[in-house]
């Protein structure tokens, strides 16, 4: 299991809510659940992303996930 704060995932810099997952996909899913509840404007922007933008975002995100320490 790996953990990342909302801010580390690209959320507001002062949001320290911890998100967790066993894979990058799980962590993103947990993050989306939190963003939908806590930052609805951000969730709306994410939902407007094109499939290409989403793929690019995941490509950037995966190395960050891999670099996290295992909890
Ligand atoms: Zn947040």
Per-residue model confidence as pLDDT tens digits over 14-52:
999 999 999 999 999 999 999 999 999 999 999 999 999
Q: Which residues contact 12 (CB under 8 A, 6 or more apart)?
A: 6, 39, 42
Confidence class for position 63, pLDDT limits 50, 70, 90: very high
Alpha carbon distance 16, 7 (integer Å): 6
pLDDT, residue 40, reads 98
Query: How many A from CA of 1 to the centre of ligand 1?
Result: 19
Alpha carbon distance 35, 14 (integer Å): 14
Count of structural domains within the chain: 1
Q: Which residues contact 5 (CB under 8 A, 6 or more apart)?
A: 11, 15, 16, 17, 18, 19
Domain that holds residue 33: 2-67
Query: How many A from CA of 21 to the centre of ligand 1?
Result: 16
Query: How many A from CA of 41 to the centre of ligand 1?
Result: 11
């Amino acid at each position: 299991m790996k953990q990342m704060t909302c801010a580390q995932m690209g959320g507001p810099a002062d949001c320290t809510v911890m998100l967790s997952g066993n894979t990058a996909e799980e962590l993103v899913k947990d993050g989306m659940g939190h963003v939908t509840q806590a930052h609805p404007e951000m969730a709306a922007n994410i939902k407007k992303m094109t499939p290409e933008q989403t793929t690019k975002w995941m490509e950037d995100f995966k190395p960050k996930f891999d670099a996290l320490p295992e909890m």
